[in-house]
A and B are shown apart, each in its own frame.
Chain A
Amino acid sequence: MMRLPLLVRVLRDPAAVRGLDGVGWDLLLRQADAANLDAFLLVLLEDAGLLDAAPAGPRAHLEWTRTGAAGHARAARYEVRQIRKALDGLDVPLILLKGAAYALAGLDAGRGRLFSDIDILVPKARLAEVEAALMMHGWITTHHDAYDQRYYRQWMHELPPMQHARRGNSIDVHHAILPETAPVHPDPDSLRACARPIAGEPGLAMLAPADMVLHSAVHLFFDGEFDKGLRDLVDLHRLLGEFGAQPGFWDALPARARELQLGRPLFYALRYCPRLLGTVVPPAVLAAVAPDGPRGPLLWLMDRLFERALLPLHPSCADAFNGPARFALYVRGN
């Protein structure tokens, strides 16, 4: 495999920063900035006790990300609080997805992670009530064009994004994790049935650990957009690291993936996380998901495409292949 960019090498092994000179730090920070991972880099180095290894200039830049990350976490909590108030009378099970779940559940994947929208999952039958309640509390629908509205409501798995008129924050209300038009249909009722309450947050739930991993994987490998590809891969790596320590998690994961028709995204997750980020996956699990992957030439092609598309979107990581790789994967995702 080709030589990994500096940022990826540091993500695999934070101690690699010890050998960096001024130019090296400069490149590392610029790649991290381009990959939306600069706030995470601060967390990574601080956890490893390596912040002191950074000279004053880079150290300052890392510190500059601290308040922004704290602000995002605070804003997410506040926004979820307001959403909960708005939906209070409806007795709708409220499941948080992605970043909002990581932040409110205090997961490792939420630390140093920035995000703008809140994603929630509600039953399809309750969509209209949820939308009405949100509108009563100041959220308005976006994408007013009739085509866009139909696109979302009929074919996608979510309402058109809603934006709060005063605060400006957005909420995506999902009823499933994949669009109706997708080739597979992970059963939302099954996801809901396995959802777990978020400790210390009455009325809030998140997907079960395996489902959270699968949702993250399908979002990364099916959506077809890779501007945040490396960031999303890091999310997966951290989720697997945290949940992997829980008894029974690895054993149940392959079967759950098949049940939700998400064997292929799991295969990719468990292939590229170790390859790029050094994630530790039990060999038995790799063997169990192997049949869900593509064969021979197609696998070779996917390797070439993903290994480039998942790199930081930065001039220093561009090679002639990168542009076409991302485009090919974008087309496939749609």
Chain B
Amino acid sequence: MWRVTPGQALACREWDGEAVLYNDLSGNTHLLEGAALDLLHALHVQPADAATLAVRLADHFDAGDDDLVSLIDDMLHTLAGLDLIEPC
């Protein structure tokens, strides 16, 4: 299960499917694909795991079912490495 790290306000700006996001913890700014931003917004609403997110966001992605969960899992680990989300 993942949640948005407490203290992250997810300040972001999006233009043409690409987004920039300000990381309140590290002070860094990240360039994110729209899909990664969708994951963050979904987790902000409610903590979830990769499988749940795959179901909730199926129409945002192109991949098939199995690939999608694993793809989302990879993205979640990347986001965790940036301290944007954490396990809970």
Q: Chain A residues near B24: list those with CB within 8 A.
A: 74
Tell me if A78 counts as interface (CB < 8 A to partner B). yes
Chain B 4-26 interface mask (CB, 8 Å, partner A; 1/0): 00000000000000000000111
Chain A binding surface SS class: helix
Verify if B27 is at the interface (C-beta below 8 Å from A). yes
On chain A, the residues within 8 Å of B25 by CB distance are 74, 77-78, 81
Q: Which residues of A contact B26 (CB under 8 A)?
A: 78
Which residues of chain B from 16 to 70 have any CB-CB distance to chain A below 8 Å in the complex?
Answer: 24-27
A81 surroundings in chain B (CB, below 8 A): 25, 83
Chain B residues with CB under 8 A of A77:
25
Nearest CB in chain B: distance from A240 CB, A = 31
Alpha-carbon distance A78/B27, docked complex (angstroms) = 9
Q: How many chain A residues touch B (Cβ–Cβ < 8 Å)?
A: 6
Q: Say yes or no: is A138 at the interface (Cβ < 8 Å to chain B).
A: no
The verdict on A71 contacting chain B, using a C-beta distance below 8 Å, is: yes
**Is A252 an interface position by the 8 A CB rule?**
no
In whole angstroms, what is the CA distance A87 to B25 when docked? 19
Determine the distance from Cα of A7 to Cα of B68 in the docked complex, in whole angstroms. Answer: 62
Q: Verify B27–A74 contact, CB threshold 8 A.
A: yes
B26 nearest CB neighbor, chain A only: A78
Q: Chain B CB within 10 Å — which of A71, A77, A78, A81 has the most?
A: A78
Q: Is A75 in the interface zone, CB < 8 Å from B?
A: yes
Name the residue among A71, A74, A75 with the largest chain B CB count within 10 angstroms.
Answer: A74
Q: How far apart are the CA atoms of A75 and B23 in the complex, in Å?
A: 12
Interchain CA distance A81-B5 in the complex, whole Å:
12
Q: Which chain B residues lie closer than 8 Å to A75 at the CB level?
A: 27
Question: B27 → chain A, closest Cβ, in Å?
Answer: 6
> Which residues of A, 69-95, contact B by the 8 Å Cβ criterion?
71, 74-75, 77-78, 81
Tell me which residues from 230 to 266 in chain A have a Cβ below 8 Å from any Cβ of chain B: none
Q: Which residue of B is nearest A167, CB measured? A: B26
What chain B residues lie within 8 Å of A78 (beta carbons)? Answer: 25-27, 83
Give the docked Cα–Cα distance between A266 and B74 (Å): 55
CB distance from B45 to the nearest CB of A (A): 24
- Chain A's closest residue to B24 (CB) is A74
Nearest CB in chain A: distance from B62 CB, A: 33
Cα-based distance from A75 to B83 in the complex (angstroms): 13
* B78 to A: closest C-beta gap in Å: 16
CA distance A78 to B83 in the complex (A): 10
Expressed in whole angstroms, the Cα–Cα distance for A75 and B26 within the complex equals: 7
CA distance A75 to B25 in the complex (A): 8
Given the complex of chains A and B, what is the CA–CA distance between A71 and B27 in angstroms? 8
Query: What residues of chain A lie closer than 8 Å to B27, measured between beta carbons?
Result: 71, 74-75, 78
> Which residue on chain A has the smallest CB distance to residue B5?
A81
When chains A and B are docked, how far (Å) is the Cα of A30 from the Cα of B67? Answer: 61
Distance (whole angstroms) from the CB of B26 to the closest CB of chain A: 5
> A74–B26 Cα gap in the complex (Å)?
7
A-B contact pairs, 12 of them (CB 8 A): A71-B27, A74-B24, A74-B25, A74-B27, A75-B27, A77-B25, A78-B25, A78-B26, A78-B27, A78-B83, A81-B25, A81-B83
Known contacts A77-B25, A78-B26, then 9 further A-B pairs from the complex at CB < 8 Å, ordered by chain A residue? A71-B27, A74-B24, A74-B27, A75-B27, A78-B25, A78-B27, A78-B83, A81-B25, A81-B83
Using a CB–CB cutoff of 8 Å, the interface residues on chain B facing chain A are 24-27, 83
> 10 smallest A-B Cβ distances: which pairs?
A78-B25, A78-B26, A74-B27, A75-B27, A71-B27, A81-B25, A78-B27, A77-B25, A81-B83, A74-B24
